[in-house]
A and B are shown apart, each in its own frame.
Chain A
Amino acid sequence: MEFKFTNVLFSSKKNLFKTIMRLSIFLFCVFTFGFTPNSSFSQNAKIKIKSDLNLTVDEVFNLIRQQTNYTFVYSADLFKNASKIELKKGSINTSKLLNKSLDNLNLTYLFLDNKTIVLTKKAVKTTSIGIEELDEIQLKITGTVTDAFNNPLPGVNVLVGKKGSNIVKGVVTDFEGKYTIEGAKGEVIRFSYMGFSTQEFVIQNQTVINVILKEATGKLNEVVLVGYGTQKREEVSSAISSVKAKDLTQNIVGVTSFDNALSGLIKGVNISQSTGELGSGVDINIRGITSPFAGADNNPLFVIDGVPVQTNPNIFGSNDNASYANTANPLQSINPSDIESIDVLKDAAATAIYGSRGANGVIIVNTKRGTKGEKMSIAVNTSTTFAKPIKTHDYLSTDQWKSFNDEFFKYSAQAANENPYIDLFFLSDYSYMANLPIDWWTYTIGYEGPNEAYYGTENTNWADVVFRDPAVTNQYNVSVLGGTDKTNYSLSAGYTNQEGLILKEEYKQYSFKLGLDSQVNKILKVGATANIGVSNIKSGYRSVNGDLGNELSARPDIAPRDENGDFNWVKSVEYGFFDLLEPNPLALMTGSKNETKGFTLLGNAYAEFEVVKNLKIKSDINVALFDTKDYSFRPVSIVGIISDLYGETKSTLGTSNVTSTNVVSNFTANYTASLDKHDFSALIGAAWDRNYSDRQYFRIEGFPDDEVLTNITSGETVTSKAGVKNESGLNSIFSRLTYSYDDKYFATANIRTDRSIKFGPENQRAFFPSLALSWKVSNESFLENNTTLNSLRLRASIGKTGSNNVGDFAYLQFFAPGLNNDANYGGNQAIGLTGVLPNEAIKWETTNEMNIGLNFGLFNNRIRGSFDYYNRKTTDALMPSPFPFETGAETYTANFADLSNKGFELDLGGDIVRTKELQWAANFNISQNKNTLDKFNQDGISSFLIDRYEVGKEVNIIKGYVVEKIFQDQAELDELNAASSTGFYQEYGTGLGDYKYKDLNNDGRITSEDREYLGSSQPDVFGGFNTELNYKGFSLGAYFTYALGGESLWSSYGNKLLYSPNKNTYSMFYENTWTPERTDAEYPRFIITDPNYNSRISSKTVYDTSFLRLKTMQFGYQFPQKIIEKFSATGLSIFVTGSNLWTLTDFPGLNPDSKDGGFASVTSTDNRDPYPVAKTWSLGVNLKF
C-alpha cells in the first residue's frame, strides 16, 4: 500500500466506502446511544488566533499543540533559519496553518494516530540547506524499520545528512515500515521515532538498511496510574505492577468479571478462585494478610475509572439479618474487554495516598478512552464458551454401595457387641436398611443381611445428572473509540449469557460504558465516565461455598424422577422410628427459585482548570452505586425435608434488597515545573468520602402453593425481618511531591491525613506519610554505553498505611431490638444492649512498610525484570479482644494484634526469539510472603477460631492430630489403654482398624494437647508464567499459575469417615477400608458413629494444596492486512481458548485453590468441595473497523 502524506482519509473512493461501512456498523451496533460522530480529523480543526501575531515556526507549533493536543516530532534545529510567520486574528484550519508555516521550508507533515505530527523534508526534493556541496554519488537506500517484535513501524523519521551538519533529507516510513531515501557514502542515516531509541549508521555501500528500533529504555511513553494522577513509568519509585490489556485479552475470554482473569499475572498478588458459582468473584491478597480477625476484609481497594470500590463491602458490627443479604460482585459492571490498563499499587509508598484505605493495596483500573482527533474505530468481539466442572468425584455404583453397606453393617454389629461404648441403638436405627435384631437380655445386636426391599435397582451418578454437559456461554462486546478536535469519546456495550454448570442456572449480564472528555476552552477541560452493569442470576440451588461433594452423595439406587416426571424422594428413617423424605440432589439443586438482580453504576465527572501554565485544578465527584435485589424461594414440596420428627416445614421466601452508595468528591491542585535538569511536581488535594448503605431482608414462611403464589403478599408469616441503614464518612487531605534530577534521581513523597467517624473522639485523625527514592543507574555515564546491562534502576521506599476494619461508632453504647430468637419475649419486643462494649481508645490499624527493589533490562532489553523485597509490619490490628464479662457486653474491639509480612517478588521476561517471522516471548513471576502473627490474645477470639492463630506462626494455621498408623494389633491397644490414667489411650470406642494418633506430649493418652501445627492455608510461594509464540499471523499463548506449599483441611474426606449407610460415598473407599480381612487397606475401618473419631482434623485429613495449573491456552490467527482490507476492516482475528485444562496437584478434592468463606484469605483453613470452577473451551472472533 502506498502511503500518502496529505488528505489521507478522503482521498479515494475506497476510503469513503470504508467510512460509510464504519458508520453504518457503528449506528447498527449502538443505535441506542443515538450518537453521530463529527468530523474527527484534526487537520481540519480550527486554530484560534486572538490577535495579529508574528510567530516563529516553533511558536506556531506550540499554538497548535495547546489547542489540539498534538505533539510534533522534528529535529531541534530544523527551523533555526526559518523566517517568522505572520498570522491574522481569526481562526485558521490546522492543515492550512501547517502548510503556511512549512511550505517555504520544503517540509511536509504527517498526522499519526498517536497524536503526533511528524515533520519531514519533502522527499521528492533534495535541496541543500547547508552550504556544503554534495559531490558524492547518491545511493538509493531502501529498507524496513521494525520493532523488536518484528512489527513494522510506520511513521519513523528517516533522515540523511552529513555528520555534524543540519539534516538535509528526510522521509518517513510507510504503513509497512518501508522507506526509500537517497544518501551518499559517508553520510549518516538516522532513524528516530517517538518512544524508541534513535539509531544512526554511517552509509557505506549498502543499498538496503533494515533497522530494528528498540524501545527506549523503560518505555518512555508508558504511563502508570498512581493515586489521583499518573506518573511516567520511569519516574515511579515505589512498587507498582501493571497489567496491560494485551495480557488480559486471552484470560478474559468466557469470564464475566476481570478479577477472574488476573491470577498468576502480577507478582506479589495472590488470587484464588474458590467457587465457580455464577457471578462470584475471587479473593485477592496483596503482600499478605494484615487484618485477620473478625471478618475483616483483606482485599485491595479497587479504583475503577477514578471510582473507589470495595469488592467485599462488608458491614461491621451489624449482626443483623440484613447482613446475610446476597450482594452481587461489583466488578461485574466492568466489561473485561473495555479494560485499558490495570496498575497494582503494592507498597506503602504507593498506597499511602489512599491512607486508611490503602493497607491491602490498591488496584487502579482504567477503561479505554478515545483520543482527540483519533479516527473512530469500532471493535466487535464475540465468543462462545463451553464449560464443564474442572473435576467431579467418583461415587460408588449401586452394586458397590450395597456391598459396601453389607460390610459396614457386619463390622458395625461386631464392634457394637465387642465395645460397650458403641451404642446399639445407633446401629439398630438402620433396621430399615438391614436386618439388625437386638437381643435385649444379652444386649447384643446381630446382622442378618440387607433388607432387600429397601434397595432400588437404578444406578444413578448424581454428578452426571446435576451438571450440564456442557454449559454454554455467549459473549458479545461492541466498543467505539474516537475523538474530534476537542472531544474524545468511548462507548461500549457488552452482553453475556452464561449457563451455570448446574442445570437451570443462568446468568445474564449487560454492561454499558460511556466516557467523554472535552476541552471546553483553553482553561477548562471536563469529562465524565459511566460504567453501568445490570446482571441477573437465576438458579435452582443456593449454597455459598457449600460442600457440594456431600450434597451429591445421595443413594445411587433411585432414579432422579418417577414415571410422571416428578422428582423422586430420598427415603430414610430417623432414629429408627421416624420416616424421613429428603429431596434428591437433582431436586435440591434445581428445585428452588432463586433470582439475584444486580445493578451497578460507577460514574464520575470532573472539571479541570489550567489556571496558569502548569497549574491544574481539578474537581471531581465519583459515585459507586450497588443495588442487589435477591429473591430466594424454597418450595417445600420439592426441596423440603419431610420428617415425622421435626414436624411440618413450610415453604420459605427470603428476599433482600441491598443498596450501597459511595460518594467521593475530590478537589486537587497539581503544579509541575521544570528548571534545567530539575523536574518538580506537587499535588495537593482534599477528599470527602461518604458511604451509605441500606439493607432490607425478609424471610417469609407458609405459601398456598409452590408454583404461582410465591410472592411476598402470598406468604403467611414473616419469620425474620431487618431493615438497616448506615452512614459513615471519611474526610481526607493529601499531598504528593515529586522531584527528579537529570532523569537519574527521583523522589516521591506522599502524605495523607484521614478523619473517620469509626474511631474514638481522640483518635479520629491519622497521618499516613511515605517516601520513595530511586536511582536510574543506567543513565549514569559509566553505564550509558553498556550493551549488556542497558537498563538498571534501584528503588527504595518507606511508608505507612492504615485500615479501619471496624464498625461505626465503636466508642458509643447502643440499644437495639434483638434479632430472630431474641427479637421478642412473650410476643413482645425486646430492646436491650447491642452488646458492643464501648472502646473510647479505638483507633486505626497501621501498617509500616519498607520496600527495596530494582528493575533491569539486559541485552538490548531482551530480558527484562524486576525484583522487590518488602517488610510490612502491622501494629494495633483491630481484633475482638478480651473484656470483663461482668460488664454484660458481648464484643469488644481493640487495637491489639501485631502482624508482619515479609517477602520478595521477582518477575522476569524475555524475548527468546524475535525475528520477522517468528517471535517467542516468555514471562515468569514468583512471590513469597511470610506472614507472622507477632502479638495476639486468643481469649478474644471465638473458640471455633482459636486454633487458627498462634503467636510466631502465620495466620490460618491448621492444628490437628498426627496419624501414626492404623491399629493392627489388639495387644498393642490393650497395653496402651492399660498405661493410660483414664483407662483409654485414645477414645472409648477405639478398636483395630482405627487410626492411631501420636502421643506428642507423652502423657500416655490422646488429648487436645496432642495436636500440632499441620500447615496453613497460605502458600509458601506463588506466581505464574506465560509464554507466547507468534508465527506470521498465528499465535499460541499459554498462561500458567501456581501456588506451592499451602495446606488445607479437606473436610469432605473427614466427613466421609463418619459414614451414614443411607448415603453414598466416594469410590476411592471401595474395598480400600480396613477390615480384619483387609488389614493393608489405605483407609481406616468404617463403622457406626466412627467411635475413634477418625474424622477429626489430623495429618490424614489435611492435604498439601500445591498446584500448577494451565490457566488458559489460546491459539489464534490474525488475518493479514491485505485480506481484511477488502472488508474495510483494520483487524480480524479468530481464536480458540481453553481454560483450566490441566492441573497438577496432589490435592484430592475438586480444586486446590478453593477456600471456604466469603473473605477466604482471612478465615479459611477448610477446602470443602464447593461449587466447582469450570474447565472451558471457547471460540471467538475479534473484528475491528
Chain B
Amino acid sequence: MKLKNIKFTIVLCILISSVSCNIDDIEPINQLTEENVIHNEKSAEAMLNASYIKFREFFFSNFYAGLMGAGGEQTIGNFYGSQGFNQNTIQEDNILLADNYKNLYIAINNANFAIDGLEKGKATDIGEVRTNELIAEAKTIRAFSHFLLLRQFGQFFDLNSTYGIVLRMGPARKFEGLPRNSVQECYTAILDDLKFASQNGSTGVAHYYFSAVAAKALLSKVYLYTGDFTNAASTALEVINNTDGYNLASEYGSIFTSNFGEEILFSVYGNSQEGERTNADISFGRYQITPSPYFRALADEQDGVPGDGDPTYNSAGYDARFLYAYDAFSTAGPHSNGKIPFASNSTEGVNTIIYLRLAEFYLVYAEAEARRAGGDLDDALAKLNSIRERVGMPLKSFSTKQMLLQNIREEKMLELFSETGETWFDLIRYDRLGDIDASTIKSTLNSVDQYVLPMPRTALAGNENLIQNPGY
C-alpha cells in the first residue's frame, strides 16, 4: 500500500510539473520598448519618420479645405467634417478638429521620444554632429506641430493671452493631463526649438525632410507671428538667399508636378505606387472646394480687367495661377484642380500637401520688411513682384504702405490658395494688426472668438486641466 502511494505521488508530481507553467514567462513578442527602440542612427531616423507620416494624415487635407472655407478663399462642399467652416460656426465636436489635434500631438510625442533618446546618446553609431542634426530635425517637427496647433487652437495673435496650447516638451509615458501654456510660453518654446534647428540642422536633404533652411523659414514665419518683424525680415531674407539649393521654380505648374522640387521647403512625402498615399489625392477637387466669389473677383481683376472671366473658367481674364488651377480644358486635370495634377493611382507622380515653399517667404519677407520700423518698402515691393513676374501677371506699383500690405496679403492668397489655408491666418493677423476688418471680407466673422477654433470636445473630455477657448 505504501509503495503504491509513493509511486502514485511520483506520477502525480511529474504530471503537475509537466502541465503547469509560470505566467510570468509570457512576454510580448516582436514589440519594442523605450529601452531598445533607438539604438543607432537608422532607428532614430525611423522614429522621426513616424512623426513625418502624421503630416499626411488622412483628414488633414479636409481640415485645410475647411480653413480655406473659413478664410473666405473657397466655398467648401459637403464632405467629412466640413460642417461650420463656411459659416465660421465650427462646433467643438467637429471631427476634423480632434483628428488634427490628436495627430499633431502624436508627431510631437514621437519627436519627444526621439529627442530624449538621442540626447541620452542611445544612437551609438553616430557622433555629436549627426546626433544634433537628428535632434534639430526632431525639434523642427515639434516646433512645427506646436506652431500649427497654436495658430489653430490658441490665441496666437495675442502675446499676452493665456490661451496658448499645451506644450509637450518631453515624452509622455502615462496618463497625464497638462494645462494650457500662455501664448508667450508657446512662442518661446517654438522659437527655442527652431533656433537650435536652424543652427544644427542638416543640409542637402530631400525636401520632404526638415533641413536647417526649412527650420529657418519656419523661424521667420514665427517671428512674423510674434510681431518681431526685424528678425522675421532678416531671417526670411537668409532663407531667400540660401545656398542649400532652395530656389523659386521657374515655372509655376512645375511646383505641383515635380512633387518635392527646388521651391519646396517642406512638403510631405507621398508615392501612391509604394503605398504612401496622401489625402490630397482625393481631396480639394471640384466637389470639395470652389473659389469663393471674393477670390474669383480678386483673380479676375489681376489682369487689370475686372469682370471678364467667364463662369466656366475656360477663358483668360483671370490670374494665371487661378486659371492654372481651374481651366478645365487644359491644366485642371483629373480633379478639376491643377494644383492636384495627378490621378489618384497615377504612376506619374503624387499629389502632396505643400506646407512650406519658398514663394511664401518672399511674401513673409515683404510683409515683415514693410511692417518693421525703417523697413525698405521698395525691396518689399520688389520681392512681391518677383512672385508676380514668374507667372506673367502685371507688376504692382507702390502707392501707400497700407496698399502694399494689402497687395501682399492678396498675393499670398493668389499664390498659395488651395494649399494649406494660409489665407485664413493672414486674414486674422491683418485684422488684429489693424490693417483690415475681417468681417468685410468674410461676412460671417463677427467676433474675435471665431478667430480661434474650439478645442475639440474629445480633447477636453480627456484632460480636465484643458480649458475651452472663449465663446465656445
A residues near B (Cβ < 8 Å) are: 425, 440, 443, 575, 578, 607, 609, 611, 617, 619, 621, 644-649, 665-667, 686, 688, 690, 717, 719-720, 724-731, 755-757, 764, 808-809, 812-818, 820-835, 837-840, 881-890, 892, 937, 939-940, 943
Closest chain A residue to B334, Cβ basis: A645
B130 within 8 A of A: no
Contact of A885 among B20, B22, B53, B102 (CB under 8 A): B102
Asked if B275 contacts A820 (CB within 8 A), the reply is yes
CB contacts (< 8 Å) of B45 on chain A: these are 828
Contact of A688 among B20, B101, B461 (CB under 8 A): B20
Asked if A646 contacts B462 (CB within 8 A), the reply is no
CB contacts (< 8 Å) of A823 on chain B: these are 275
Closest chain B residue to A881, Cβ basis: B462
B346 → chain A closest CB, angstroms: 5
Closest chain B residue to A730, Cβ basis: B23
Residues A757 and B276 in contact in the complex (CB < 8 Å), given A825-B53, A825-B269: no
A514 → chain B closest CB, angstroms: 22
Residues A831 and B463 in contact in the complex (CB < 8 Å), given A821-B275, A887-B175, A888-B110: no
B residues near A (Cβ < 8 Å) are: 8, 11-12, 15-16, 19-23, 26-34, 37, 43, 45-47, 49-53, 56, 58, 93, 95, 98, 101-102, 105-110, 112-113, 166, 168, 172-178, 206, 208-209, 269, 271, 273-277, 286, 310-312, 334, 336, 343-347, 456-459, 461-463, 466
Closest chain B residue to A1089, Cβ basis: B78
Asked if A882 contacts B16 (CB within 8 A), the reply is no
CB contacts (< 8 Å) of B459 on chain A: these are 884-886
Residues A826 and B269 in contact in the complex (CB < 8 Å), given A440-B311, A886-B463: yes
Closest chain B residue to A728, Cβ basis: B26
CA distance A890 to B31 in the complex (A): 17
Asked if A725 contacts B30 (CB within 8 A), the reply is yes
B120 → chain A closest CB, angstroms: 16
Closest chain B residue to A727, Cβ basis: B26
CB contacts (< 8 Å) of B105 on chain A: these are 885-888
B87 → chain A closest CB, angstroms: 8
Contact of A884 among B33, B46, B462 (CB under 8 A): B462
CB contacts (< 8 Å) of B22 on chain A: these are 731
CB contacts (< 8 Å) of A719 on chain B: these are 275
A1089 → chain B closest CB, angstroms: 9
Asked if A646 contacts B343 (CB within 8 A), the reply is yes
Asked if A832 contacts B51 (CB within 8 A), the reply is yes
Asked if A882 contacts B462 (CB within 8 A), the reply is yes
Asked if A729 contacts B23 (CB within 8 A), the reply is yes
B329 → chain A closest CB, angstroms: 10
Contact of A808 among B28, B33, B106 (CB under 8 A): B28
Asked if B34 contacts A813 (CB within 8 A), the reply is yes
CB contacts (< 8 Å) of A834 on chain B: these are 31
Asked if A440 contacts B274 (CB within 8 A), the reply is no
CB contacts (< 8 Å) of B271 on chain A: these are 827
Contact of A621 among B19, B108, B166, B172 (CB under 8 A): B19
Asked if A887 contacts B109 (CB within 8 A), the reply is yes
Asked if B34 contacts A667 (CB within 8 A), the reply is no
Asked if A724 contacts B30 (CB within 8 A), the reply is yes
CB contacts (< 8 Å) of B276 on chain A: these are 821, 824-825, 827
Given contacts A647-B347, A815-B33, 7 further A-B pairs with CB under 8 A are A757-B26, A814-B32, A821-B275, A827-B271, A828-B49, A833-B109, A837-B175
Asked if A830 contacts B109 (CB within 8 A), the reply is no
Asked if A731 contacts B23 (CB within 8 A), the reply is yes
CA distance A425 to B77 in the complex (A): 13
Contact of A831 among B20, B43, B168 (CB under 8 A): B43
Enumerate 23 A-B pairs (CB-CB under 8 Å) in ascending A order: A440-B312, A611-B8, A619-B15, A621-B19, A667-B20, A717-B273, A757-B23, A814-B33, A820-B275, A826-B49, A828-B45, A828-B46, A828-B49, A834-B31, A837-B175, A882-B458, A884-B178, A884-B459, A884-B462, A885-B105, A887-B109, A888-B109, A892-B462
B435 → chain A closest CB, angstroms: 31
B92 → chain A closest CB, angstroms: 11
Closest chain A residue to B312, Cβ basis: A440
CB contacts (< 8 Å) of B286 on chain A: these are 425, 575
Asked if B98 contacts A885 (CB within 8 A), the reply is yes
Asked if A885 contacts B463 (CB within 8 A), the reply is yes
CB contacts (< 8 Å) of B176 on chain A: these are 884, 887
Asked if A831 contacts B31 (CB within 8 A), the reply is no
CB contacts (< 8 Å) of A832 on chain B: these are 46-47, 49-51, 106, 110
A439 → chain B closest CB, angstroms: 11
Asked if B462 contacts A831 (CB within 8 A), the reply is no
- Which of A817, A830, A885 is most buried by chain B, counting CB atoms within 10 A of its CB? A885
Asked if B462 contacts A883 (CB within 8 A), the reply is yes
CA distance A607 to B15 in the complex (A): 10
- Which of B23, B311, B334, B463 is most buried by chain A, counting CB atoms within 10 A of its CB? B23
A674 → chain B closest CB, angstroms: 24
A410 → chain B closest CB, angstroms: 24
CB contacts (< 8 Å) of B32 on chain A: these are 814-816, 831
CA distance A302 to B172 in the complex (A): 41
Asked if A829 contacts B49 (CB within 8 A), the reply is yes
The 3 A-B residue pairs with the shortest CB-CB distance, nearest first, are: A888-B109, A832-B50, A939-B461
Asked if A885 contacts B462 (CB within 8 A), the reply is yes
Contact of A725 among B29, B98, B273 (CB under 8 A): B29
Asked if A648 contacts B28 (CB within 8 A), the reply is no
CB contacts (< 8 Å) of B461 on chain A: these are 882, 937, 939-940
B32 → chain A closest CB, angstroms: 4
Residues A886 and B166 in contact in the complex (CB < 8 Å), given A440-B310, A688-B19: yes
CB contacts (< 8 Å) of B46 on chain A: these are 817, 828-832
Asked if B19 contacts A667 (CB within 8 A), the reply is yes
A840 → chain B closest CB, angstroms: 7
Asked if B463 contacts A818 (CB within 8 A), the reply is no
Closest chain A residue to B110, Cβ basis: A832
Closest chain B residue to A764, Cβ basis: B23
Asked if A939 contacts B457 (CB within 8 A), the reply is yes
CB contacts (< 8 Å) of A838 on chain B: these are 173-174
CB contacts (< 8 Å) of A831 on chain B: these are 32, 37, 43, 46-47, 49-50
Asked if B101 contacts A885 (CB within 8 A), the reply is yes
CA distance A15 to B364 in the complex (A): 106
Asked if B29 contacts A726 (CB within 8 A), the reply is yes
CA distance A645 to B19 in the complex (A): 61
CB contacts (< 8 Å) of B93 on chain A: these are 943
Asked if A939 contacts B458 (CB within 8 A), the reply is yes
CA distance A829 to B43 in the complex (A): 9
CA distance A815 to B36 in the complex (A): 9
CB contacts (< 8 Å) of B52 on chain A: these are 825-826, 830
CB contacts (< 8 Å) of A611 on chain B: these are 8
CB contacts (< 8 Å) of B336 on chain A: these are 575
B289 → chain A closest CB, angstroms: 13
CB contacts (< 8 Å) of B19 on chain A: these are 619, 621, 665-667, 688
Asked if B33 contacts A886 (CB within 8 A), the reply is no
Contact of B23 among A755, A888, A889, A940 (CB under 8 A): A755
- Which of B8, B286, B462 is most buried by chain A, counting CB atoms within 10 A of its CB? B462
CB contacts (< 8 Å) of A888 on chain B: these are 105-110, 112, 168, 172
CA distance A888 to B345 in the complex (A): 31
CB contacts (< 8 Å) of A826 on chain B: these are 49, 52, 206, 208-209, 269
A686 → chain B closest CB, angstroms: 7
Contact of A648 among B49, B177, B345, B456 (CB under 8 A): B345
Asked if B345 contacts A886 (CB within 8 A), the reply is no
CB contacts (< 8 Å) of A818 on chain B: these are 50, 53
Asked if B53 contacts A821 (CB within 8 A), the reply is yes
Asked if A885 contacts B456 (CB within 8 A), the reply is yes
Asked if B172 contacts A647 (CB within 8 A), the reply is no
CA distance A892 to B47 in the complex (A): 21
CA distance A777 to B112 in the complex (A): 71
Asked if B34 contacts A646 (CB within 8 A), the reply is no
Asked if A814 contacts B463 (CB within 8 A), the reply is no
A704 → chain B closest CB, angstroms: 17
B287 → chain A closest CB, angstroms: 8
